[in-house]
Amino acid sequence: MQSFPVIGVLALQGDYESHALALEQVNAQPKMVRTARDLELVDGLIIPGGESTTFLKLLEREGLFLPLQEFVRMRPTFGTCAGCILLAKRVTHPEQQSLGALDATVERNAYGRQIDSQIVTGATSLPGGPLEMVFIRAPRLIELGSDVEVLAQRDGSPVLVRQKNIMAATFHPELSRAGGMSKNVDEHLSDSEDEHPDRRVHRYFAQVVEEHSRQTRSGPSTAHRHPAQAATNDRE
Ligand code: GLN
């Protein structure tokens, strides 16, 4: 029987609904994570974009910082934009606290005010050709440990990386569209219906989570059935 991982989305701020939708579209089961108890119920986690300083405050207020730090050592976690900043071991511009999971230095708001938001198409090793990437007040990965794999680049610089069970993107993969459908960020964000989403990055992360669950067999939910499949099987 095929298993479908339960992937949490940290739902304290940011575009967590879009990540949940993207996960559904790649047949993973999304679950909003707001408490330490929620974290125990998921096989992997996405930390969305937003404002990393606000995340830090909210994590502290909810008593989630330490449980999250523990989680990212054990289970696959994907940080996008502010989430990438939270995962990096070293943060500059300015320095700030982090979960310290990804062997990288990240510079916050690295592209300056003039071009603080941009849509760029860049090279990726994910199958299917170049990837549209939406950057919003994005950080820059400026130093990577030797075992950090680069999965996508912008003008030769890493923007999507993986180090074992940790993935990080300096852009917003929940906004990527197939075939470079839009030209500017405002137009992109005001489009409520996205009929051409590119889900390759979420699909890749779901595979990382699935593989990890299979290998460890220690997760709380290693043999999930997708709700639709469960319903079909129950009728049989
Ligand atoms: N500039 C934000 C920060 O420093 C990140 C922006 C984003 O997540 N889109 O946390």
Task: Report the DSSP beta bridge partners of residue 102.
Answer: 88
Confidence of residue 100 (pLDDT cuts 50, 70, 90): very high
pLDDT of 194: 67
In this prediction, residues 186-193 reach a mean pLDDT of: 66
Q: What's this model's pTM, rounded to 2 decimal places? A: 0.89
In this prediction, residues 32-36 reach a mean pLDDT of: 97
Using a 6 Å cutoff on CB, does residue 52 contact ligand 1? Answer: yes
Q: Which atom of ligand 1 is nearest to the CA of 82?
A: 8
pLDDT of 169: 98
Round to whole Å and give the CA distance between 129 and 132: 10
pLDDT of 181: 56
pLDDT of 220: 53
**Residues of the chain above pLDDT 90, percent:** 78
Q: Map out the domains of the chain with their CATH numbers.
A: 6-229 (3.40.50.880)
Measuring CA to CA, which residue among 177, 165, 185, 156 is closest to residue 99? 165
Round to whole Å and give the CA distance between 153 and 89: 20
In this prediction, residues 47-69 reach a mean pLDDT of: 97
Q: Which atom of ligand 1 is nearest to the CA of 135?
A: 9
- Could you tell me which residue, 138 or 4, shows the higher pLDDT? 138
Task: Note if 84 is an active site residue.
Answer: no
Q: Which tokens sit at 163?
A: 């180090």
Task: Note if 236 is an active site residue.
Answer: no
Residues found in the chain: 236
Confidence of residue 232 (pLDDT cuts 50, 70, 90): very low
Residue 32 burial (C-beta neighbours within 10 Å; 0-12, 13-18, 19+)? middle
Confidence of residue 202 (pLDDT cuts 50, 70, 90): very high
Catalytic residue among 84, 107, 132, 172: 172
Catalytic residue among 107, 132, 174, 210: 174
Round to whole Å and give the CA distance between 64 and 55: 10
Classify the C-alpha dihedral 69-72-75-81 as positive or negative.
positive
In this prediction, residues 112-131 reach a mean pLDDT of: 89
CA angle centred on 115, ends 13 and 20, rounded to 5°: 30
